[in-house]
Amino acid sequence: MTPSPRPASRRTVLTALAAAATAGAPLVGQLAAAAPAAAAADPGEYASNTALYKDPALVEGTTYGRRFRRHQAADFDLATKAGYPRTAILALHGGGIEIGTSELALGIAGYDPGDITPTAPALLPATYDYFLFEGLLSTGNKALHVTSRNCDDHVALSLAASHLNVLSLHGCQYDQLGMPEPMIWPPSSDPRLAVVGGLNAEFRAALVYEIGRAGFPVVDAFDSRYANRLQDFNGSHVTNPCNLTMLRKGAQIEMTTELRQSLFGDYSSRSRRAATWDTSNGQFEAFRDACRRAIATVEANQPVL
């Protein structure tokens, strides 16, 4: 359940963060001086992206940023049928909010997370449309979190509505899941875990199979052994953008901090993650490619009419 928002205290914190970022001042010091207890004491969050975008304390490009790509598609030939994008990748809590999800979204979409300039070529043959909302502060990005089911960003929703599939990437902490570790990886535990949710059962099954085959601990959030524990992480809400597709169902992956850390040579900052995704002993590529294989499996049964 999303706590009731308390915007006054949150705004105090974010005003200090945004001002410090603009001035180039140390953000941690500014935060402590402005409201030493507010960040820890205030569990509220913005009721929607609209509410966040309208907050005068926040500055797009400094406090937060948005990036997206829709690939050109056209058919001028009456005699043949052209292909059309069927899958979009979302990172609704990217940047410093749920760390590592932006870079992974770009990788799954077919791009180099360290170079997505307009002139940079795609890294992989198949590319997917994507949308990223990213926290840009050096600290305090959790205050920019908007619960997925409350997302009303026009680009994110239009991408979902115009695709058969959405894969939405999220981050969590292992302790939040309440998983019985010995039941999954006896006799020792592994805090790396991918929890696959969303209302598209076929997509979930393909993701669980491919991610597991790539060597990562993974569970289906609807698995009867764990479903009661994972209700808050199963992506089942009908207004979650992953389920606002043309089929009214999609998929999401919740990844623990340890899993996301393992995908980068250096997880410590946006620039280091972008520069070291390909120095993780192949872990980033393995997870990325597992997701892409799952997408290909699902798309193979979805001809565009």
220 with 204: CB under 8 angstroms?
Answer: yes
> What pLDDT score does 5 carry?
43
Pairing of β 165-172 and β 64-69? unpaired
| pLDDT given at position 118 | 87
- Tens digits of per-residue pLDDT, 10-54? 444 444 444 444 443 333 333 233 333 323 223 578 999 999 999
What is the structure's pLDDT at 84? 85
CA atoms within 13 A on the CB side of 121: 3
Q: Can you give the pLDDT at residue 287? A: 98
Q: Tell me, what's the pLDDT at 8? A: 44
Cβ of 4: how many Cβ atoms within 10 Å? 9
Distance (Å, rounded) from C-alpha 170 to C-alpha 251? Answer: 11
DSSP notation for 53-114? HH-TT--BTTTEEEEEE--------TTS------EEEEEEEEETTSTTHHHHHHHHHTSBTT
pLDDT at 198 (0 to 100): 98
Residue 80 tokens, joined:
């043949």
Residue 44, pLDDT score: 74
CA distance 152 to 217: 32
Per-residue exposure over 61-94, b if at least 16 CB sit within 10 Å of its own CB, e if not:
eebbbbbbbeeeeeeeeeeeeeeebbbbbbbbbb
> pLDDT at position 43, please?
52
- pLDDT of 6 reads 42
Q: Determine the Cα–Cα distance for residues 10 and 17; give it in Å rounded to an integer.
A: 11
**Can you read off the two tokens belonging to residue 42?**
């205030």
Q: What per-residue confidence (pLDDT) applies to 175?
A: 87
Question: At CA 269, angle to CA 97 and CA 89, rounded to 5?
Answer: 50
User: For residue range 166-175, what is the model confidence (pLDDT) as tens digits?
Assistant: 999 999 999 8
Question: Considering the entire predicted model, what is its pTM?
Answer: 0.85
Q: Is the dihedral of CA 45, 51, 53, 57 positive or negative?
A: negative
Residue 209: strand, helix, or coil: helix
pLDDT of the residue at 243: 98
Residues of the chain with pLDDT under 50: 1-42
Alpha-carbon Rg for the chain, nearest whole angstrom, is: 19
